[in-house]
Chain A
Amino acid sequence: MQADPTRKRGVTDLVGSLPLIIFACVLIYISFNAPNFLTLRNLELILMQSLPVVLVCAGLGAVVMAGGDDVVSGGIDLSIPATAVLSAGITAVMLSQGWPLAICAGVALLACLSVGLLNAALVTRIGMTPLLTTLAMFVAVVGVNNVITSSRRIDVDHPWIVALRAQEIAGVPLGIIAVALVVAAIYFALHRTRWGLNLQAAGGSRDAAEISGLPVSRLFGQSFVLASGTGYICGFFVLARGSGSSPGVQDNLMLEMVLATFLGAAFSTRRVVTMWGAVLGAVLVAAISIGFKSIGVNVFWTGLIKGSLIVIVVALSALAQRGR
């Protein structure tokens, strides 16, 4: 007897939307148990805390779109958080030596872009696996940053950096506006320009893109440079959030970046990594973290619960994809 295709489709859709339902249930549970969780102020807090993750997720999203979403052989860039702390480290050290912000930012930009170019060269020219290349790059760049900062914390109180954290424009924090603009610009570049559509085609089906004459390798390489650019911008938000550069920020950032980006895939209709999915994933990870703390869950349990939620969501999205 043949299964009813409409019914099968319905089950698949239900499985596909279960992640959303689970997240909604968790958030509803939290909001019933934590005072002030569903307030505008808390929403602002969640957005502010998620800004650095949102930025690196946007960069990782671009690389995954250009290289395909196979975690091992497709596009991935684990070095973005290291690029972010490199940007923060160089800026903090140079500011503390009395250089003007523009010069510090310029030097940091050159350093970050060279990380992106090096990633691109190693992956597209030498043919190394992105996963291993960028993991090695992560370790190397963190090492360079440790040398630059002597592994020490450096306080930063430059008014422009402070403004990213504290300034508001018409009641909306400047940081949120700035990140929204950056994300919108990347979205525009990836979805509304010929370059972006070519880049997506290259990641969607490499063979088809090559046959139709697209410069697949070059597009993939460019995505690494774009990603290092998001890491660069993220560095300033790391400085603003922590009012300085502290060693060790990259580890949590890397974990949350990977979780949020692949969690975000569960929210797209085709279960693939998208810009908006990644951004939404980053905000949800922040919301869940803040929510659990608000209801007084022990920090170690938070890690377990977060991890389990991710596994459930990704497993469900894999099931839904198989059902299609």
Chain B
Amino acid sequence: MRYHISALAVTVGLAVATSSAADGHLSLDGKTIGVAVVGTQHFWDREAFNGATSTVESLGGTVVAVDGGRDNQVHADNHDILLNNGVDAVISILGDGSVEPKFEALKAAGIPVFTVDHPSPHAVNNTTSDNYYMGTTIGRYMADAIGGEGKVAVFNAFENALRICGIRTGLWKYVLEDYPGIEIVQPELAEEFANAPEDARKKTLDLLSQYPEGTLDAIHVGCWDQPAIGVVQALEEAGRTDVLVTALDGGPDTLEIMAEDGSPFVANVAQQPNLIGSTSAMNVARYFAGETLLPQTYVDVVPVNGQAEAKAAYSALGYGSLD
């Protein structure tokens, strides 16, 4: 598996090198690009934002940035400001259904919208991870980790609100259909969008008091991994690290937790948020160069199963070394 990850690192490196060679003609000279991000507190959001803004600037464009402070409504309202500023295009990172009317207004004003992790009928292109692969992979890894049977609790606040979460959690459940011995604890848990680690910590402590030792096998976070930080804290506080944790996103913060000896956090699928943001900015330039874009651009993900792979992924993704 280590080979798999280093091979991926090489592939990613090659892909970036090839694309920069082939895309040498692309330019955003004289263009003003609005970049709206839902927040910059979390690694994923911040990296996608950094990838997008630095690429726009390296292509000669000017960035007008707005940050929603991890509040979906503020994020949506920020698009009005970009519309009013008369930018040439908008890159919109994450956001729930409240951004849709804003995209519609931008489109009506002739400003093309490029989304990151938010498929929308009003967007030219959505750049995202391969969410289908993420959902099924984490389903298989989790089922394997608990031996194909047991009780599983899931943090699942966004399955119906965000399409990417619908895909990830929906396919996780799809995989579990083939494991009749696995039972999803009802009702499912709903984590807060802002302040997720602390909120998940409290909810996990409540959950653990409802399910005494031996009656709960795993806790899965359906769409991201910030809540998993709080879940692991709660398990350690309660001395219940026999309960396994799985999640998605694989930022450096959670890979570090996975890399600890005896960590209950056993599986993850890491994304490349910086490359996603950067790819979206390249797509804006391709659009202005008159190239045809597909509605969705997928960026590779890195499955992470266990401590050793967490360490390998950490260095392959350029976060440093955990050895």
Residues of A within 8 A of B (CB): 34-36, 39, 41-42, 45, 48-49, 150-155, 162, 165-166, 241-244, 246-249, 252, 290, 293-294, 296, 298-300, 303
Contacts and interface: CB of A to CB of B under 8 A. Distances in A.
Contact of B67 (A241, A247, A299): A299
B160 A153 contact: yes
A152 B161 contact: yes
B313 to A, nearest CB: 31
25 contacts: A34-B85, A35-B85, A41-B84, A42-B84, A45-B81, A49-B77, A151-B157, A152-B158, A152-B160, A153-B72, A153-B97, A154-B160, A162-B101, A241-B73, A241-B98, A243-B100, A243-B101, A246-B96, A246-B193, A247-B192, A249-B73, A252-B74, A294-B85, A296-B65, A299-B40
A291 to B, nearest CB: 9
Contacts of B304: none
Nearest to B162: A153
Nearest to A249: B73
Contact of A152 (B40, B71, B157, B194): B157
Contacts of B85: 34-36, 294
Q: Is the interface of B mostly helix, strand, loop or mixed?
A: mixed
Contact of A151 (B72, B74, B81, B192): B192
- The 8 A-B pairs at the shortest CB distance, nearest first, are namely A153-B161, A242-B98, A151-B190, A299-B67, A155-B97, A293-B81, A45-B80, A299-B69
Contacts of A162: 101
A296 B64 contact: yes
B66 interface: yes
B306 interface: no
A290 B78 CA distance: 8
Given A45-B81, A153-B96, A154-B161, 6 more contacts: A36-B85, A153-B72, A242-B76, A246-B73, A248-B72, A299-B68
Contacts of B161: 152-155, 246
Contacts of A300: 69
Most A CB atoms within 10 A — which of B64, B77, B158, B192? B77
Contact of A247 (B74, B77, B78, B193): B193
A165 B101 contact: yes
Contacts of B101: 162, 165-166, 243
B150 interface: no
Contacts of A243: 97-98, 100-101
